[in-house]
């Protein structure tokens, strides 16, 4: 029996965000090159997108390439860019078939033209899909995003378009790349490290965090279901008391 049957569909996280970590160590353990780990990682992306869509998750955000990843060896960066493009090209028909729309967040102007343009084509081709929203964080870092938001708000203030006293959380939300996307309810990190690595720092203020030792290429559909089941066992109080939540 698959774990999917143990999930309470009335208490699903609306938005699941994932730090996909451990591709390199997965490859090293098998005496393979790091890029081979990323190739396997793409297979997991496919599997997790499928199961998220099947369960009825509304938003799935995957941390595919961080701002800091630009500092990796050029061969690895090039291999990752090529891999992402090949995967997106290959998967677009299935995304459409499964009613999944693609979007991306991040400083995508830094990406090579061929990669950005191919991703934009897939975003265009899947824009009519109304099921799962798959969001790729590419050349993304939270501090970059927050600095950008501050700059935009400062420009509005300098130009007298806004009153400084009116700036509130929703004004910041509106300037982030995730505007119109609900905050993640659940953040999963694979690969054994217990940190959030500059990912959606503003947005995960009240997210449930789930860490697993499994390397991303080993992370299965059942592992994803297990994370959802764990999420459903938690009491989310948002600063209130248990008694207030039960009422
Ligand atoms: C972290 O593992 C993973 C990445 C930096 C890249 C993840 C990208 C993919 C799985 C490809 C995504 C493709 C699509 C189509 C979205 P790591 O290299 O940091 O592993 P390590 O911590 O073991 O070294």
Q: Which atom of ligand 1 is nearest to the CA of 25?
A: 23
Q: Whose CA is nearest to atom 8 of ligand 1?
A: 64
What distances in angstroms separate CA 146 from CA 82, 141, 143, 160, 185, one per listed residue? Answer: 28, 9, 5, 21, 20
pLDDT, tens digit, 9 for 90 and up, residues 174-210: 999 999 999 999 999 999 999 999 999 999 999 999 9
Ligand 1 first shell, C-beta below 6 A = 20-25, 38, 41-42, 45, 62, 64, 69, 83-84, 87-88, 136, 191
pLDDT, tens digit, 9 for 90 and up, residues 141-175: 999 999 999 999 999 999 988 999 999 999 999 99
Amino acid 105: pLDDT? 98
Q: Is 21 a catalytic residue?
A: yes
Q: Where are the alpha helices (DSSP H) in the chain?
A: 23-29, 34-55, 74-97, 113-125, 142-158, 169-175, 221-232, 242-246
For residue 33 the two structure tokens come to 């090159």
Q: Which residue has the higher pLDDT, 124 or 246?
A: 124
- How many Cα atoms are found within 13 Å in the side-chain-facing hemisphere of 127? 6
For residue 105 the two structure tokens come to 């967040």
Whether 125 contacts 154, CB under 8 Å: no
Catalytic site residue from 10, 21, 78, 98: 21
DSSP 29-52: HTT--HHHHHHHHHHHHHHHHHHH
CATH of 3-141+183-246, one of 3.40.1180.10, 1.10.3720.10, 1.10.1370.40, 3.40.50.2000: 3.40.1180.10
Catalytic site residue from 23, 69, 160, 198: 69
Q: Is 107 a catalytic residue?
A: no
For residue 204 the two structure tokens come to 């995960």
Angle between helix 113-125 and 74-97 (nearest 10): 10
Give 240's pLDDT tier (boundaries 50, 70, 90): confident
Q: Which of 17, 19, 22, 23 to mutate to test the pocket of ligand 1 (most atoms within 8 A of CB)?
A: 23
């Amino acid at each position: 029996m698959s774990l999917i049957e143990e999930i309470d569909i009335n208490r699903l996280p609306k938005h699941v965000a994932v730090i996909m970590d451990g591709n390199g160590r997965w490859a090293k353990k098998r005496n393979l090159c790091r890029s081979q780990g990323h190739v396997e990682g793409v297979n997991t992306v496919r599997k997790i997108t499928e199961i998220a869509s099947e369960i009825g998750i509304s938003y799935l955000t995957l941390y595919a390439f961080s701002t800091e990843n630009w500092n990796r060896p050029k061969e690895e960066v090039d291999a990752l860019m090529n891999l992402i493009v090949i995967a997106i090209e290959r998967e677009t028909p299935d995304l459409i078939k499964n009613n999944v729309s693609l979007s991306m967040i991040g400083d995508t102007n830094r990406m090579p033209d061929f990669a950005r343009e191919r991703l934009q084509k897939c975003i265009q081709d899947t824009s009519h899909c109304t099921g799962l929203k798959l969001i790729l964080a590419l050349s993304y870092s939270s501090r970059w995003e927050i600095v950008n938001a501050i700059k935009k708000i400062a420009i509005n203030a300098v130009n007298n378009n806004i009153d400084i006293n009116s700036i509130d959380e929703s004004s910041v939300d509106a300037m982030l790349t995730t505007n119109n996307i609900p905050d993640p309810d659940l953040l999963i990190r694979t690969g054994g490290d217990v940190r959030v690595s500059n990912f959606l720092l503003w947005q995960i203020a009240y997210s449930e965090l789930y860490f697993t030792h499994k390397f991303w290429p080993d992370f299965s559909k059942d592992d994803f279901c297990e994370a959802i089941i764990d999420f459903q066992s938690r009491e989310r109080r948002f600063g209130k008391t248990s008694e207030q939540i039960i009422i």
